[in-house]
Amino acid sequence: MWTISEVKETGKAAFRGNYWPCVLVALLMGIFTGGGSAASSAQQTSSQLSSTMNGLSSQEQIAVAAAAITASLGILAVSVVIKIFLANPINLGGSYFFKSNVEQTPAPFALIKHGFANYWHNFVVLFLRDIYLILWCMLFLVPGFIKMYSYAMVPYILAENPDMPANEVITLSRQMMNGNKGRAFLLDLSFIGWFLLGIVTAGLGFIFWTSPYISSSHAALYLKLKEEQGIA
């Protein structure tokens, strides 16, 4: 049975053995994943604009509100496109890189391109996973949070099995995480100190240590689950 300390030590050793490629891959993953935050930023901007419209005429208020809504929708559309067409394949390639780096350090940075191989099949699998997560989140936050851990192994499985049907990839991830979701959450929670370091250092700690360390540990967890469950 895997332990949090064992997974973290394996991930840390692989990360340290290939430091700069790990940092660069994790940075790319973070940049494109962060694109989704643009939507919430646009919503905050709209809220701030609405509080400053008190002195305007009704026609001016309508014009400002329409412009704010249009801008928010535009930013939301761009962030969704980035998530679907760029962030997902980059995160898939990054997952493949970190898995390979744990298996045999050092792994080449070029492995991040793996997410763009067999592009449309990868697109379908990851898009379906995202749809499932959205639907679960609509039921309430807790089921969506739990399912996020159920589907956590999808990128690694897909990277190793590029022709596996979408529902089989998702089902295998659920099976692998069955009985492991709670400890996977505790694994993530164990990095809270490193997250605080990232905040204190204005994000530098997150870039140069926390993010690649977490990504390496997640890859180590995938390989450990494969080993324990006898998955080829």
Quick: pLDDT tens for 111-128: 999 999 999 999 999 999
How high is the pLDDT of residue 84?
A: 74
Report which DSSP code applies to 162. Answer: T
Instruction: Single out the residue of 81, 105, 109, 89 nearest to residue 97, CA to CA.
Output: 109
Range name among 5-14, 56-65, 133-142 with the lowest pLDDT average: 56-65
**Separation of alpha carbons 155 and 136, rounded Å:** 19
Q: Which residues contact 211 (CB under 8 A, 6 or more apart)?
A: 26, 27, 29, 30
pLDDT of 162-185, one tens digit each? 999 999 999 999 999 999 999 999
Instruction: Single out the residue of 31, 36, 15 nearest to residue 194, CA to CA.
Output: 15
pLDDT of 193-206, one tens digit each? 999 999 999 999 99
Structure tokens given for 122: 């990868």
Range name among 99-108, 116-125, 138-147, 151-160 with the lowest pLDDT average: 138-147
Please check the confidence at residue 209 and state whether its pLDDT lies above 90: yes
Structure tokens given for 108: 């080449």
Is 29 in a helix, a strand, or coil?
A: helix
pLDDT of 17-67, one tens digit each? 999 999 999 999 998 876 444 444 444 444 555 555 556 666 666 666 667
Cβ–Cβ under 8 Å, residues 232 and 164? no
Report which DSSP code applies to 104. Answer: S
Give the end-to-end CA distance of the chain in Å, rounded to a whole number: 18
How high is the pLDDT of residue 143?
A: 83
The mean pLDDT value for 82-86 works out to 77
